[in-house]
Every structure is written in structure tokens, then in C-alpha cells.
Structure 1
Amino acid sequence: LKVDFEKAYDSVSWSFVLYMLRRFGFQDKWIGWIGECLRTSSMSVLVNGSPTTEFSMQKGIRQGDPLAPFLFVLVAEGLTGLVREASNSDLFRGIKVGSKGELVNILQYADDTIFVGEASVENVRTLKVILRGFELASGLKVNFYKSCLGAIGVGRETLISFAEILHCKLSNIPFVYLGIPIGANPRRSKTWQPVVLSFKKKLSSWRASTLSQSPLHHILHLI
């Protein structure tokens, strides 16, 4: 299940941000600073191209604020914790990958989140409970209409029944997550053609830039 959060940055609960800071062991002084930054923040909106008078915020973290991505990652870690507890209690079953059988049940990058697990109705219902509980605690609400459910080796009728429980739409397989095709055969060169094309476009734009050979060589080496 690939979930889409409604206005992710705008709906975060401040109390949940401070709670997660405490859970991660931040000192009270630092938590007080963060709380003051949140409470004294203000914003304005554009009306016909002109900004309104600034007004105080009651929730959310401002996009563009250097602290915002770090605070959001802490908030998202709360969801990871819920999935971990559900997995430890055998309420949600992920999948094991690799020769060492590493358990994978959730993948997160900023506000991009994918749940990975066995195709069972128990897993689907547990996910719905987890997401609802996380919404009540953090303020982050899942837009199920934009969220997508996909599976490999699962009948379409079964997949449709799962989607009806979550009230989400079905995802095509393969799909792209963070630029990487998921569900495609990794041994086929065709699978990686879009990725290679994307790299070529970026490299061509760098080639046309005014970078000297030394910085350009350093960037290519990092890739």
C-alpha cells in the first residue's frame, strides 16, 4: 500500500512533534526551543496574487523552514513505531528479503510511505487501524482516494476486496517509487531504461553548465 497524506506538512499536530522529541531523548531545553518556534510561527496566504495580513498558526510546520524536514521525519517515525509494535505482536506480517531474511514492513522517505506485507485480509485491516490511530495522534490523515494498493502474484478479485476495505484505488504493477520501478523484472534491461534515461537528462544538463572539469568530475564520481 502506497499512502498519500493530505497536506502532510500543514496538518501535523504540534503536541505530537514535542512528544516524539521526548521519545527520542531530546533535552527539555531543546524541546522548549522547538515549541517556541512552532507557537510563534505565522503565515499569510495569497489572494489574487497579493499576500494577506499574517496570522498565527495552530498546527503544521512551514515548508521552506530548515527545521521542517527534520521535524517531519520525527513525526513519520511514530508511524514506523506503530508498525513495529504490530509486527512484534504478530498483528501485521511483513516479508523477509535477502539471504539473511531481513524483515521489511514499511518503507519511508519524507512523506512517501509504502507498507509491505503478506496479502491477507488481517494485514489489510490492521493497516487501516494503524493509519487511523496515527491520524488521531499526529494529525496526519491519509487520503485513501489517492493511495494505491498493489500486489504481486495475487488474484485481481482478492486485490479488489482488499481495496474496498481501505477505500483506495488499485495500483498498476510495476509502479515507480523514488524513481525505481517496483515489481518489474530487475534482470531485464528494459526495466532500467527509464532510470538510465533520467540519468542521461541530468548529465546532459550538467554538461551544458559552466562547471569546470574538476567539480564535474567530483560530482560524477559521487554518482
Structure 2
Amino acid sequence: MQVPANVIKAGVGVLATGVITVVTLALKQHLVRVVHKVNKLWAGKRVAILGRQWVGKTTLLALLMGQDLSAARKTTVDPNTGASFELRIGKKTVRFRVRHDQPGWAPELAYKGWREEFDDADFVLYLFRADLIARGDRGTVALVERDLNEFKSWLEQRETGAPVPKVILIGTWADRSPEFAKDAAKFTSRIRKARPIKLGAIKLNKADLVVGSLGAEEDSAKLIASLGEFVR
């Protein structure tokens, strides 16, 4: 018996949908496993997430708190003061703190909230737009340089023997650059050599660098896994 073409097409469509669903579920599960692994490394630590607007701070925080990507994108923390979240890992707790809305002109007083988190953290995650740095966007370059110079001054002002937070620079939105899709390693090398990142990393005790995207489950898992490599 010959099966009608429209039935065949419908069957193929259902099969394709099923495959996509399985793949999507697998990616989500992989992301969950990666996040859990990294959070275990942070158990008992304090993590400050800093960066300008629209760099992915809230998305990264939400993912680390166990939300899936679709929910993470809808999550908005108070844009004026930021918020603190605690995550229980066994008998220990990870404290995440995110600050928002650093004004573009950034006078010294505007850094007050950032410094409070910086000084109280074991790890400082500084997010910036990798795509704009790669493009040489003057505004972004100037802001990143200013922020990292502020971090350097805070480190210099710490009392002798006081704990020093480990700074990790995280370049997001890399998927906005065609070069990243062609060769992620080459793109990361380019960001590492960019003036504000190269000089900033040196000033901040050879800060580590992670470059990637939070635009999809697979990309988010790669970025967070790379981040975990520098959690000591």
C-alpha cells in the first residue's frame, strides 16, 4: 500500500521534532551538570559578579543558581542596588552578589557599591562585551580600562596580609562576532591581546580570561566549564 506523501511528511516532521527535543534536553542536562560541578568548587566562597549593563551578569547569576536558560534571560535583579543570593552546597554555602547599573560616566562615588563587593569577595567575575572589544568600540574600551584600573587601585589599597580576591575576566556576547564561530581559540587570543584586557590582566595579578557566550545552552555550558578551570 502506498503511503500518502502528506502522511510521510508529517511523520518526518514528528521524528525531527522528537530528535530536536532529545538534543535540547541533553544540552540542558549537560549545562546542569557543568553548573553543579563549578558550584561545588565554590562551596564556602563569596563570589562578586561585576560589569556594565547588558553584559550578561543576571543571566550568568541565574544559571549558577540553577535556572534554565529561558528563565535566566527573564530574570531581572533590582537594577539599582543589585542583590545577594546564597546557594547551599552540602554543608557549605556559596554567596553570590551582583551589582547593576554602573553609570557610563562613573565618578568615584559610583564605584562605592562595586568596591564593597570587590573587597568582600573571594572571587570577582568581571563581565564585558567581547564582541565590542574585538571591534575596537571606543566607548567599551574606555569603560573596561576605567573599571580594571579601579580594581587595581583597590588591590593596592588593601592592608598588608589582607586576602586578595581572585579576578576572572569574562568576555561575553562572543557569538555576535563571526570570527568566534570560525575559530573560537583565535578569537579568544585576539581578546587576550586587546589593550584593556592585556594590561588589565597584568595589573590584576595575571587575572584569568574566559571568552564565550550565554546565548544558548551549549555555549553557556562551555563558558561556565571554562570558568571552572580557574576556580582554585
What TM-score range do you get, normalising by the shorter chain? under 0.3
Point out the structure with the larger helix share: 2
TM-score of the aligned structures, taking structure 2 as reference length: 0.27
